[in-house]
């Protein structure tokens, strides 16, 4: 299951092999500030794209709901049902009860922090899928999955309840969405999807009289490294979970594509019996190319404390530099016309072409032509053409995909 914070990310997830995507609409979701978010008017197109590519569509309606928002929530769920959304992801009982009333499938959000089979049994009267809390160990997950089968715990559709867990992406110092640091500092609450993430910054300790100040040994003590489970994904699959969830609705399309590709390939390798430590290391290096705060294995392996980031922001080994945009595409020749607006374009450059329908197209520039003549470089203001291996579209943005200088050092 892959995140879709925009049409570009939605198409990137589909291209990379996602079996399902999850997305938010408007403000009633836990990434209302971080992601672009779709509008109610987008729902028919989003769900149709998912059906067209045989991908399940999950709408997140997982914030807390106030009294004056109940009618808005009803309208959103009514529209979701009319558009054929596969299911909603929810935690507030007002949302869960209404979805059940109108016959929309419910998946229980991780905000409910389910960590035992009795909680699964209770929520099974509402939900067909339960997203477990991230604090569970693999042994806990295995026991819950086994108990569901042995005790025949079924959801509203009459099928055994499915278990979903996060396998990759950002971790929060607090129980998901239940931290008040952003609310206290910025009047912008996390449980409304509006967290400003002050926890990600460095901290010092100062005495009340301000006579002295101490820098904490790890200044990013409230900012956990990102979860990465690809190194033991085979053990996760053996627990019996049904859905592997990737965090990142606020991340760029190339993040969605790379992470989805890696985990899709890993699951396929597990199914085929070719999964290995060496392959896992290769996938991990690819995962490092896109946004990350460095990696650790989370709590699944029994850790009782987190591992903390040692710098602010992303530690990705690669970054994108905007070159310009696609201003024409010649289908018969499979050639794209590029208007260079910022960074120059050179033969040998690794590029990304990103668009709402294109998703993420990756390639290495093999040839450049300016005024029909071969060229090695096209500078700012130049209109040039390059061969491409699949269709791109007018208006798509083109980027150079380069290694970060600090990583090279």
* Digit-coded pLDDT (tens) for 179-238: 767 666 777 766 666 776 777 778 777 877 777 777 677 777 778 899 999 999 999 999
Which two structure tokens, joined as six digits, stand for 32? 């209302």
Contact, 169 vs 227, CB < 8 A?
A: yes
Q: At what angle do helices 253-272 and 7-16 cross, to 10 degrees?
A: 20
Q: pLDDT value at position 207?
A: 78
Longest dimension (CA), the chain: 74
Percent helix, percent strand, percent coil in the chain, to nearest 5:
30, 25, 40
CA 365 to chain centre: 28
Q: Highest mean pLDDT: which of 22-31, 217-226, 253-262, 302-311?
A: 253-262
Q: At what angle do helices 253-272 and 277-287 cross, to 10 degrees?
A: 170
**Rounded CA separation 131/108 (Å):** 6
Across the range 333-352, mean pLDDT stands at 97
Mean residue pLDDT across the chain:
91
Contact, 339 vs 328, CB < 8 A?
A: no
Q: pLDDT value at position 373?
A: 96
Q: Is the pLDDT confidence value at 381 over 90?
A: yes
- The sign of the torsion formed by the CA atoms of 152, 155, 159, 163 equals negative
List the beta strands (DSSP E) in 121-279. 129-131, 162-169, 204-206, 213-215, 226-228, 243-246
Residues in the chain: 409
Q: Report which DSSP code applies to 38.
A: B
Q: pLDDT value at position 219?
A: 73
Q: Is the pLDDT confidence value at 407 over 60?
A: no
Which two structure tokens, joined as six digits, stand for 288? 């490092």
Alpha helices in 53-208 (DSSP H): 70-83, 93-102, 117-123, 138-150, 181-186
Which two structure tokens, joined as six digits, stand for 83? 């558009």
Q: pLDDT value at position 197?
A: 74
Percent of the chain past pLDDT 90, that is, above it, reads: 75
Place of tokens 């668009």: 355
Could you tell me the pLDDT band of residue 397, with boundaries at 50, 70 and 90?
A: very high
Could you tell me the pLDDT band of residue 57, with boundaries at 50, 70 and 90?
A: very high
Across the range 156-182, mean pLDDT stands at 85
Strand, helix or coil at 112?
helix
Which two structure tokens, joined as six digits, stand for 203? 């901290």
Q: pLDDT value at position 409?
A: 39
Q: pLDDT value at position 134?
A: 84
Contact, 96 vs 112, CB < 8 A?
A: no
Burial of residue 149 (number of CB atoms within 10 Å: 0-12, 13-18, 19+): exposed
pTM for the full model? 0.90
The strand pairing partners of 267, in sequence order, are none
Could you tell me the pLDDT band of residue 408, with boundaries at 50, 70 and 90?
A: very low
Distances, alpha carbon 339 to alpha carbons 198, 325, 384, 386, in Å: 39, 6, 7, 11
């Amino acid at each position: 299951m892959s995140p879709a914070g925009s049409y570009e990310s939605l198409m990137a997830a589909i291209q990379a092999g996602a079996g399902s995507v999850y997305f938010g609409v408007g403000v009633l979701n836990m990434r209302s500030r971080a992601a672009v978010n779709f509008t109610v008017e987008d729902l028919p197109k989003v769900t149709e794209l998912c059906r067209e590519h045989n991908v399940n569509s999950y709408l997140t309606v997982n914030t807390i709901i106030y009294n004056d928002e109940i009618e808005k929530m009803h309208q959103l769920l009514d529209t979701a049902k009319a558009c054929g959304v596969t299911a909603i992801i929810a935690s507030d009982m007002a949302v869960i009860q209404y979805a059940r009333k109108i016959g929309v499938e419910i998946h229980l959000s991780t905000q409910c922090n389910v960590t035992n089979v009795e909680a699964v049994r209770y929520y099974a009267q509402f939900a067909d899928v339960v997203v477990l809390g991230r604090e569970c160990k693999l042994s806990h997950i295995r026991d819950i999955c086994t108990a569901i089968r042995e005790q025949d715990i079924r959801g509203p559709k009459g099928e055994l309840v499915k278990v979903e867990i996060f396998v990759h992406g950002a971790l929060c110092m607090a129980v998901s969405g239940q931290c008040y640091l952003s609310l206290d500092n910025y009047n912008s609450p996390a449980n409304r999807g509006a967290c400003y993430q002050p926890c990600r910054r460095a901290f010092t300790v100062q005495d009340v009289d301000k006579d002295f100040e101490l820098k904490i040994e790890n200044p990013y003590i409230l900012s956990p490294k990102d979860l990465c489970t690809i190194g033991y994904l085979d053990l996760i699959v053996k627990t019996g979970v049904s859905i592997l969830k990737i965090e990142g609705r606020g991340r760029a399309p190339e993040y969605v594509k790379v992470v989805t590709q890696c985990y899709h390939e890993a699951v396929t390798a597990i199914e085929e019996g070719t999964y290995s430590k060496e392959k896992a290391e290769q996938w991990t290096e690819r995962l490092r190319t896109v946004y990350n705060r460095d990696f650790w294995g989370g709590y699944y392996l029994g850790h009782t404390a987190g591992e903390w980031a040692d710098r602010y922001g992303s530690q990705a080994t690669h970054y994108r530099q905007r070159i310009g945009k696609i201003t024409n595409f010649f289908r018969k020749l499979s050639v794209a016309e590029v208007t260079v607006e910022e960074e120059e374009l050179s033969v040998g450059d690794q590029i990304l072409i990103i668009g709402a329908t294109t998703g993420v197209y990756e390639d290495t520039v093999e040839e450049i032509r300016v005024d029909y003549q071969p060229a090695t470089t096209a500078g700012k203001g130049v209109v040039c053409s390059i061969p491409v291996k699949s269709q791109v579209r007018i208006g798509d943005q083109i980027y150079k995909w380069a290694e970060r200088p600090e990583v090279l050092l």
